[in-house]
Structure 1
Amino acid sequence: MRKAAIAIALLATLAACGSREALRPAPGNSLPPKPALAPTQPTTTDLLTPRPQERPERSEELLRQSEERRDDRFDLPPQ
């Protein structure tokens, strides 16, 4: 049982060792065309880095005191 656990741990460690070379398009393919207003062709790193709109930061501010909601004149009961 112990040998099996060691073998699994060793295989998991080896599986985590992926190649660290730069990404390239597959043979026969190319990068997407340059956007119309972009000054240069984006690199693979640029394409893989999320922009702020794609990954907004979370607001961790806690509600410190409860507040009464204002009346909403559009919050009508169903007819």
Structure 2
Amino acid sequence: MMMPRSSVLLAGAALAALIALPGCGSRQKLTAVEGMKPVPPAYGAVGAAAPDQLLEPSTQARPERNVELRRKSEARTDDPFDLPPE
């Protein structure tokens, strides 16, 4: 007795997902591949960045949050960039 085509496709997709899943979240130490050039240093940097430095998010990518709650209403200060449309 043969399985319906949709069951075979579903089983194949599930098998492919199970095979690919272990590689998704692996965290290994980064190593350079032989023959590959190292990452060039950023403009103005003294030297090339280490792999750990490249993985660390910058302050701009992860800004600190200010969760201070307002205790009372405050008047807004004048915003010089709040211009009417031309």
Within 5 A, what are the aligned runs for 1:1-79? 21-69=28-76
Aligned residue identity for 1:32: V
Structure 2 Cα separation of the partners of residues 34 and 70 of structure 1: 42
CA RMSD of aligned residues (A): 3.6
| Alignment-derived partner of residue 4 in structure 1 | none
Higher relative contact order, chain-length normalized (CA < 8 Å, sep 6+): 1
**TM-score, scaled to structure 2:** 0.48
- Pairwise CA distance, 1:54: 2.1
User: Quick one: structure 1 residues 24 and 71, their matched pair in 2 at CA, closer, same or farther if it must change by over 3 Å?
Assistant: closer
Q: Equivalent pairs: percent with the same residue?
A: 46
Q: Mark the runs of 5 or more structure 2 residues left unpaired by the alignment.
A: 1-21
